[in-house]
Chain A
Amino acid sequence: MSLTDRIDPRPPRRIYRWDLDKTYLQTDFDTFRQLVRTALQKAEEKKAVPGAATLIRELKAQGDVRLCIVSGSPTQMRAVLAEKLKLDGVEFDELVLKDNMRNLLRGRFKALRGQVGYKLPVLLESRLNAPTEAEEVLFGDDAEADAFIYSLYADMVSRRVSEPVVHEVLRAAEVYEDDVERILARWKEIPPADPVRRIFINLDRLTPPASFARYGPRVVPVFNYFQASLVLMADGHLTAPSVIKVAVEMVQTAGHNLLTLSNSFQDLLRRGVPLGAVAEALTEALKSPGALLNSMRPVPDILAAFTKRIAALGSPVPPPAAREVDYLSLLDHARPRTHKARTRPSGS
């Protein structure tokens, strides 16, 4: 055995956890017909959300990074999904899919739609194998309960949430008893830390961003991955050229233009995301020579568009205040979207 074989690979500095459907992939499964079509799609027929593939590649390129994918797609789709990710040049470290066949055979019908009882233990188990100091950024969507599950996961690891609250949440989410035990056991094994820096929610359903305010500023709802890349740049995860690459992909493949990008930028400013330094760094990157930027030129127009959107707001909007998440008031979010208690109009 050579020396290099005996040396452990460098532990990840950062872990990026992604959901697949409606977060990485443009998927429609609201009707049975769409569900069947999604299940039968070949890898090359599946479409990624604009900018998502480039964003992941750029995050991976920063080094010492682990990409963990947790999806509610059935395990039978592993080959197709792995192939799709390969086609997109996305190298993952973990790909966990849902064993719904097993749930079906065991008669665990609530687990077929339930998200909390599936994702939470998977996240905790993955965290158990991660270095305590590794920080995390999570990506989900507004179709199901990602904001709730990711926030709960973050607060469980950091011990900001108490055991009775977790019990209450798991009961409301109708998690099976053995999964409850699994969740609690893993949680207790994880050394306390505060690793989750951001939770991005892709607004596939265009849910108003303010709907996520109760999760605090850690949760950032995004209309596209240009917005996510801007925030990641502000957080020190990406460089300006990486952000520009994400924008270029969106322009070239999804019909985005100066207007949609500058509007997306202003939307974050209106929500109090501090992007002043990001704007300056992007300006410098755009001015520098480079073949990459050719599709984004003319540069003066780009700078003018973004500057105009900043100036249009007058005074800067203050960032939202940090807050504790009151999970008991958000229990409806833990239930599947089709659950009666969740779909019932409030106040009735």
Chain B
Amino acid sequence: MADPQRPITIAFDVMGSDHGPAELVKGAAALTLDTPNIHALLVGDQAVIGQALSQTRYNAERLAVHHAPTFVAMTEKPSAALEEKPLASIKVAAELVARGDAEALVSAGNTGACVLACARSFKLIPGVKRAALATVYPTQAVHGSKSDPFSLILDVGATVDATADDLVSFAVMGAAYARIISKNPNPTVALLSNGTEAQKGPPRVVEANQRLRSVSGLQFIGNVEGVDIPRGTADVVVCDGFVGNVCLKMLEGVHETVLELAKYAYKEKLLWRAGLAMLSSGFERIKEVTDWEQYGGAPILGFDRLFIKAHGRSKARAIANAGKVAAKAVSNQLAHVIEQGLQAPA
């Protein structure tokens, strides 16, 4: 049962993001002002953090600093960088979380290094063989009691060659996350395939489809196709990391292309420009409801500790929201809920 008063410490790896430590520090500091139960543990260069803190309001009673002298840059190769830099901020932060100094971790740094540091420090939840990176994608349909215009997709890159077992555990993990974060008590779960029929897709997807039908407490709706992702046919879409990553990048590409086309149209004809101007408030509204910053970041599910990977371009607001999401998952015992889901009798 969630206890909203219980103090929860979230570790923030403040180094290595595109906007530098100041935005991370600002976001974490904001959390200490408006959420009485969340404590922030800032991990990174103490002098840099001190400088960033001097520019922002914070509540010292709910904020601590842990010095880490180095960090993994976005351009570095994760495994080599972690080997060379044992005191890199992401590694130190993951270890602090593992030993209980904080209960979840947020970072906007090098994704590979983050995943690797977590994999080396955290334990997999009993019943989970591989972790999954989940992300939200804006959809036509809304989801859960909060009417979120997003669905959850996992895995989008952590486990490239998932087995049927992995896909089943991803489905359970995704459903648990949607229940807690989107306040969706009975989320619909689907497998991403090349057809809606149960026998469509590679053998691991066909097998996962069969097994998911018998998982109790899971509202499995069968297979969906790529086109169903933006439609929001399911609350949770499950796939392996290779497919998920390709899908995600393609969807991002489509989004960017649409924007480019709109810019082209704006320049090309006065009539089109007028049309776009008339639609501008609608575009603003769409931008508002599909604003990824309100979701903070992508959780890595499957470990006993939660890690939220914030976008490298995250500003303070996104970081604060990532911290809130992490705290919500912790207070609702996400890892325990996943474990229970995996142990549920068929």
Contact = CB atoms under 8 A, between A and B. Distances in A.
Nearest to A267: B60
Contact of B67 (A263, A308, A312): A312
Interface in A248-283: 256-257, 259-260, 262-264, 266-267, 270
6 contacts: A224-B61, A259-B39, A263-B39, A264-B61, A309-B64, A313-B65
Nearest to B56: A208
B213 interface: no
A263 B58 contact: no
Given A208-B54, A208-B56, A262 B64 contact: yes
A25 to B, nearest CB: 19
A209 B60 CA distance: 10
A312 B33 contact: no
B65 A312 contact: yes
Contacts of A223: 59-61
Contacts of B56: 208
A314 interface: yes
Interface residues of A, number: 25
B7 A313 contact: no
A257 B58 CA distance: 18
B65 A257 contact: no
A209 B58 CA distance: 9
Contacts of A257: 7
Interface in B13-45: 33, 39
Interface of B: 7, 9, 33, 39, 46, 50, 53-67, 69, 101
A210 B55 contact: yes
Given A206-B58, A270-B50, A259 B7 contact: yes
Q: Of residues A206, A267, A312, which shows the largest number of chain B Cβ atoms within 10 Å of its Cβ? A: A312
A260 B62 contact: yes
B64 A312 contact: yes
B53 A208 contact: yes
A36 interface: no
Nearest to B92: A312
Contacts of B101: 308
Given A259-B39, A270-B65, A314 B46 contact: yes
Given A260-B61, A312-B67, 17 more contacts: A206-B58, A208-B54, A208-B57, A209-B54, A210-B53, A257-B7, A259-B7, A259-B62, A263-B61, A263-B63, A263-B64, A264-B60, A264-B61, A266-B65, A270-B46, A270-B50, A308-B101
Task: Decide if the interface of chain A is mainly helix, strand, loop or mixed.
Answer: helix
B251 to A, nearest CB: 41
A40 interface: no
Nearest to B5: A255
A322 interface: no
A313 B55 CA distance: 20
B59 A313 contact: no
A158 interface: no
A3 B101 CA distance: 64
Interface string A221-264: 00110010000000000000000000000000000110110111
B64 A266 contact: yes
Nearest to B87: A314
Contacts of A317: 46, 50
B102 to A, nearest CB: 11
A30 B145 CA distance: 37
A74 B59 CA distance: 31
A263 B68 CA distance: 18
Contacts of B54: 208-210, 213
A223 B32 CA distance: 13
A260 to B, nearest CB: 4
Nearest to B7: A259
Nearest to B33: A206
A178 B23 CA distance: 50
Given A206-B59, A312-B65, A259 B9 contact: yes
Contacts of A312: 64-67
B238 to A, nearest CB: 38
Contact of A313 (B33, B53, B67): B67
A206 B57 contact: yes
Contact of A263 (B33, B46, B60, B69): B60
A209 B62 CA distance: 15
B85 to A, nearest CB: 15
B9 to A, nearest CB: 7
B64 A314 contact: no
Contacts of B62: 259-260, 263
A227 B60 CA distance: 10
Nearest to B47: A317
Nearest to B39: A259
Contacts of A313: 46, 65, 67
Nearest to B66: A312
A27 interface: no
Contacts of A75: none
8 nearest A-B pairs in the assembled complex, by CB-CB distance: A210-B54, A267-B60, A314-B67, A260-B61, A312-B66, A223-B60, A263-B64, A206-B57
A38 interface: no
Nearest to B51: A210
B39, B50, B60: most-surrounded residue (chain A CB, <10 A) = B60
B57 A207 contact: yes
